[in-house]
Structure 1
């Protein structure tokens, strides 16, 4: 089983877009893919048969792209309505985000024996959970490999290199990175070349503002990931 955690240089860097595209690419290869969005903030309150449920759009996109028939609650167990830092949202609701719970829930997903489990983080690598804990500690304890999404914009070189160094210092392997080109960055190719020279892991995809997920999925080089199967 391949266990991948998708992180990024900052918030709104396109983690969900990258995850959705990667999941689609893997499903095309006839692999079974389960997904996990452990924590989300910024949810809609939706009325369902069993009552109101907080629905995070990113988690829903991941669930719809995957093929392991997971419920939304299974994909995204911790959800907050307010679009704020999760640990602050938890404080507002007198809740504690527990690392042990994240691990236990993740274990229940990996027990499904899918080929790949893709987890999407929230914010950047050092997302605070409260009480001096970080989401990166969950990635460490669950021994996931990491894919780094770089939001290609002015300042991204510093953000990308610092994030990569933090991942490595945490004892984890970064198996690939994605250049997500959301803006019209001057000297884009030169910046991608600079990061490619610094990073030892391969560039898995260079994506742009593509609304067709199938076309975005087709841009992925899956070979470095499939080698771990």
Structure 2
């Protein structure tokens, strides 16, 4: 059974959740940990001879240590790159938190030291007319790792996301700052200092910009010690 399970969310879409997740998996591997990962719902898939495939899910498969078939890493694959609940409706499918919880619990039963579950978009992305994606980690009681992009507006987005996570009754295990742009944001260090002082969780690392992102290299910027305590 997976000893540690974490849900990875972002302050918005396109902030680097997959890159951060892959770097965490690589960093855990250097500590001798057995790792698993999944992206339960992925929209924006390619239609291949093997079926629908999502680039993010494939990146997770490359970085985790334990082999899994694609369908267990990404059980709900949707073709168009649009909001998951809209993509599902167009495909005649209905997403529910209960179903996603079942997928996650199945992986949690596998032997591993770490399981990462990557969300889609931000914390309040809809699954259907009544539920948001947050309902799944809430049902699992899963601690959250938050990804914060270092760009203008990130303080507001990070504080609001952290507030929503804690209001939903979950703890934030840590957060990772990601640089989504080759040019450093204005007053980057001041922004980092404010986030470190005001987010209710430790910073696990600040990832440097890489034109061709290499999760194994980015892993060197992370300190995962707090994730494996107790």
The TM-score range, normalised by the shorter chain, is over 0.9
Aligned to 1:63: 61
Correspondence 1:189 to 2:189: yes
- TM-score, normalised on structure 1? 0.95
SS in 2 for 1:133: coil
Structure 2 distance, partners of 1:85, 1:200, is: 29
Alpha-carbon separation, structure 1, partners of 2:143 and 2:38? 14
Counterpart pick for 1:42 among 34, 44, 49: 44
| Aligned residue in 2 for 1:26 | 28
- SS of residue in 1 equivalent to 2:221: coil
Over 3 Å off, 4+ runs: none
Contact 2:162 2:200 in 1 (8 A): no
Q: Distance in 2 between matches of 1:157 and 1:57?
A: 29
SS at match of 1:131: coil
Deviations 1:1-46 (A, max 9, x none): 1111110110000000000000001011111111110100000011
Structure 2 residues not aligned, in runs of 5+: none
CA deviation profile, 1:61-93 (whole Å, cap 9, x unmatched) = 001111221111000000111000010011112
| Aligned-residue offset at 1:201 | 1.2
| Residue equivalent to 1:91 | 89
- 1:113 equivalent to 2:111? Answer yes
Report the counterpart of residue 227 of structure 2 in structure 1: 225
How many angstroms apart in 2 are the aligned matches of 1:148 and 1:99? Answer: 20
- In terms of mean alpha carbon deviation, does 152-161 or 89-98 score higher? 89-98
Deviation of residue 200 (structure 1)? Answer: 2.7
- 1:126-205 correspondence to structure 2 within 5 Å: 126-183=124-181, 184-205=184-205
TM-score by structure 2 length? 0.95
How many positions carry a matched residue from both structures? 224
